[in-house]
Amino acid sequence: MVIDSKKFTFCLTGIVKNAILSIVDRTSVNLRARGHFLQHRRKILEKEFKTINEQIQILKSRNIIIEDYDKVYKILAKNNYYYLINGYKNLFIDETKNIEKYINNTNIEEIYALYDFDKSIKIIFLKYLLLIESEVDTYIAYEFSKVYGHKNYLIPDNFNIINYKKDFIQKFINNINLEIQYQYKNSNEMIIHYLDNYKYIPLWVLVRVLSFGKISKFYSLMKPKEQNRISRKYNLRIKEFKVMLHNLTLIRNICAHDEKLYDIKMKNRIFNTIYHKKLQIKNKNGNYQFATRDLFSIVIILKILLEKEMFNEFYSNIIKTIKKLENQLSVIKIDKVLYKMGFPKNYRKLIDM
């Protein structure tokens, strides 16, 4: 049989054309459907402004008891609904329900008590973190200046150029220069005095204006020999101290910016310590289940870095604050809060170790 090539080509072209038109049509339908879906989704996700009275009605509809309307009104008037309720509601949610409902007898006063507890411990943590920050600042300025001089922190070769690229170190040095310029423009008296009179800033002055994050970064970029001199002051290895500084920086920022603290989960786990063993914290395959990247891990760091008297003062305040919250709770038990914080049941024993 002889096939007419012109007819075959025409037929084939028609088939391809119809196939392309079909694909385009389906794509168009899919895009329109997706557009409608996204538009609908945006409407669902969009949050409308609610008056305080409306906020109270929402809480009531979700099984929260409102005993003193005026008191609840004042709490919501003075505290951001999103931060207070959405930030601290989880422990009070009835997990047996498919929709968001609170455990029977939940009242806003208990949620507020947890919120107030979190605020109180942030103030306590911040006070003692500042002590550690000041001490670490001093150690870094002293050990670095002893080897390289007090104004040679702007030279990349004085840092660990073996493990870090010079460009990376130079970028950090540039950030330090920007900080100096910022402090000068904003009338920092120390910075103005040294720049105007000596044309440089000694490192022991500079560390007082650098953030804890930059101080932590400074330490991580130092040469191992100088790093070791500092970490050994706390009987720690360099890697252990690096992780501790990183996590303390995170907690310091949370406290300073009034973010939620009590149930924090950090990315970097601290190394196992003697306190994990003494407190008999649960261990699975060589990894402790608590006190490695939660709030209790920060307590352990403070136990290591603070003088005994200072730590006991800090921890006594934390224990008192926990006791106060326990007396304010009835719907949930304090153990539920402590579990979220990573505190073992025998957490009080740490003060005597």
Which range of 42-51, 146-155, 207-216 scores highest in mean pLDDT? It is 207-216
Question: Which residues, at least 6 apart from 198, have a Cβ–Cβ distance to it below 8 Å?
Answer: none
Cα-flanking dihedrals φ and ψ of residue 235, to 5°? Answer: 60, 40
Q: Compute the average pLDDT of residues 10-18.
A: 49
The whole-angstrom separation of Cα 144 and Cα 115 is 42
Closest CA to 147 of 136, 158, 160, 134: 158
The verdict on 102 and 202 lying in the same domain is no
The verdict on 155 and 79 lying in the same domain is no
Least confident piece of the model among 36-45, 84-93, 169-178, 205-214:
36-45
Each residue's pLDDT tens digit, 262-278: 999 999 999 999 999 99
Residue pair 153/219 in contact (Cβ under 8 Å)? The answer is no
Residue pair 296/341 in contact (Cβ under 8 Å)? The answer is yes
Each residue's pLDDT tens digit, 294-314: 999 999 999 999 999 999 999
Is the pLDDT score of 8 beyond 50?
Answer: no
Residue 43 has what pLDDT?
47
- Number of domains observed in the structure of the chain: 2
Is the pLDDT score of 181 beyond 80?
Answer: yes
Residue 35 has what pLDDT?
56
The verdict on 102 and 119 lying in the same domain is no
Is the pLDDT score of 20 beyond 80?
Answer: no
Query: Residue 108 is which amino acid?
Result: I
In a domain, 94, yes or no: yes
The verdict on 129 and 186 lying in the same domain is yes
Residue pair 148/223 in contact (Cβ under 8 Å)? The answer is no
Least confident piece of the model among 14-23, 81-90, 215-224:
14-23
Band the pLDDT of 41: cuts 50, 70, 90: low
Residue 338 has what pLDDT?
96
* Helix ranges restricted to H, the chain: 5-45, 52-61, 69-78, 81, 87-88, 108-148, 166-185, 189-198, 203-206, 212-221, 224-231, 238-256, 274-278, 295-305, 308-328, 334-341
Structural domain harbouring 274: 114-352
Each residue's pLDDT tens digit, 234-262: 999 999 999 999 999 999 999 999 999 99
**0.85 exceeded by pTM:** no
Mean pLDDT over each residue of the chain, to the nearest integer:
88
In a domain, 29, yes or no: no
Is the pLDDT score of 28 beyond 70?
Answer: no
The verdict on 144 and 257 lying in the same domain is yes
The verdict on 171 and 58 lying in the same domain is no
